[in-house]
Structure 1
């Protein structure tokens, strides 16, 4: 069964957010490397931990997008002040 337009938008948004998290984590890893090279290992390790949290969030968002695709998660009417894609 094809996705409804709101569900397509939700899946696209989830994929976009996951991509944004991935890009941000990659950039932060570059910063962590520079921190480490500059001798600031405690801050480098802190940034790496942030990246790990972001990567876990990325994985969850990708999973939610997959669940939208197969119909386990679907848009329903929402509060107008909340996410505008479902409603």
Structure 2
């Protein structure tokens, strides 16, 4: 069954947010590497922790997008 327009938009929004988290996490990882190379291990660890939390949030958003696609999550009207 095809998605309604509100559900299509919700699916796109979730995927977009997940992608933004993914690339922000990549940027944080790169910054953590630079900090580590500059002997700033404590700061690097903080960034790695944040990047890992971004990955977890990204995974959740992708899962929600799949649930929208499969019809488990439904938006009845756009906001």
**Could you tell me the TM-score, scaled by structure 2's length?**
0.97
Q: CA deviation at 1:4?
A: 0.1
Equivalences, count: 79
Whether 1:49 and 2:49 are equivalent positions in the alignment is yes
Bigger relative CO (Cα 8 Å, ≥ 6 apart):
2
**Does 1:20 find its partner at 2:29?**
no
The one-character-per-residue Cα deviations of 1:19-78 (angstroms, maximum 9, x if unpaired) are: 00000000000000000000000000010000000000000000000000000001134x
Q: TM-score, normalised by structure 1?
A: 0.88
User: Which of the pair is proportionally richer in helix?
Assistant: 2
- What are structure 1's unaligned runs of at least 5 residues? 78-85
CA-atom RMSD in angstroms: 0.8
Superposed structure 1 runs of 4+ greater than 6 Å apart: none
Instruction: Please name the residue that 1:80 is paired with.
Output: none
Q: 5+ unaligned residues in a row in structure 2: which ranges?
A: none
Q: Does 1:3 align with 2:3?
A: yes
